[in-house]
Amino acid sequence: MGLFDGKVAVVTGAGRGIGREEALLLGAEGASVVVNDLGGAPTGEGEDQRPARQVVDEITAGGGTAVANHDDVSTWDGAAALVAQAVNDLGGLDVVINNAGILRDRMSFNMDEADWDAVIAVHVKGHFAVSRFAAAHWRALAKETGQPVRAAIVNTASESGLYGNAAQVNYAAAKAGIAAMTLVMARELERIGVRVNAIAPVARTRLTEDVAGDHMKAAEGELDRFHPANVAAVAGWLASDLAAGISGQVVKVQGGQVQLLEGWRPLTEATSDKPWTVDSVEAVRDQLLAKADGSVPPFFFGPPPADRPAYPAPAGNG
């Protein structure tokens, strides 16, 4: 018996990297999987149907069920067609894992409009559009049956969006938006039985290999901590019934470490019984900055293994 026996799943960006491992895990655990991948370059250009088809072949070779999908999830029509394929060809939809993403890193003063628009479209619109059409399907089903649907969405955020990484203003804005979207949709869809969570992965993929270099490679005989299968395990857990009752959460997975993350929360507070002025704000400066000095914090990437030097900040994974 598999964790996803009888269920239908959609995984976007599933031709390579983390998405590939997520699709393989779902297929091995009994899900019928729609493997979506446009097959473009890491920066989003081009198309290639082979990666998605290869993942389908791997799943079916193992006795599972899978179909390929090459729709562009950053378009409304593409996202609608993807959800429709799951429902019409595989008989339903239970799990959506939004993973598709690209990188076009630039410092903010060098970024052009195309770089901004492309990254925002693939990540933010791509996550939302697929989730929107899946949610509409589930809402209609819940109304028809009068029962919650017991479905799950797993989004892909990033430390870059949660902590901020230089040269990734487009990507960081997109990933922060995805984290916020996760919270909103978790609230909206709870009543019809849909859980919505996000992962913030750190793994060895096409999008990180040029940045992290050898730091993410395992030595011979060593646990391969940055293999994308480690991320797939967390995404699979969140998508499964084992995580029933868990929604609106962001879970970071890095190597052998899993963390539950929280977003903006009050850190300090200063109050006044009179209208604020510039001078009165300055007067409570010490209270306001009691737990920080007001300078830009370092990008957080977590501690490196004890036997290795600190590695550079990662590019995005999804």
What positions carry a catalytic annotation?
A: 158, 171, 175
Question: Which of 136, 96, 137 has the alpha carbon at shortest distance from 13?
Answer: 96
Q: Is 318 exposed, middle or buried (0-12, 13-18, 19+ CB in 10 A)?
A: buried
Q: Whole-angstrom Cα distance, residue 281 to residue 287?
A: 10
- DSSP secondary-structure letter at 294? S
Q: Whole-angstrom Cα distance, residue 26 to residue 35?
A: 11
DSSP H or E segment with residue 197:
strand 194-202
- DSSP secondary-structure letter at 106? B
Q: Whole-angstrom Cα distance, residue 13 to residue 11?
A: 7
DSSP H or E segment with residue 50:
helix 50-61
Helix, strand, or coil (residue 279): helix
Do the Cβ atoms of 178 and 156 come closer than 8 Å?
yes
Helix, strand, or coil (residue 303): coil
Assigned token pair, 66:
């899978």
Q: Whole-angstrom Cα distance, residue 68 to residue 51?
A: 9
CB under 8 A, 24+ apart: contacts of 267-275: 267/291, 267/292, 268/292
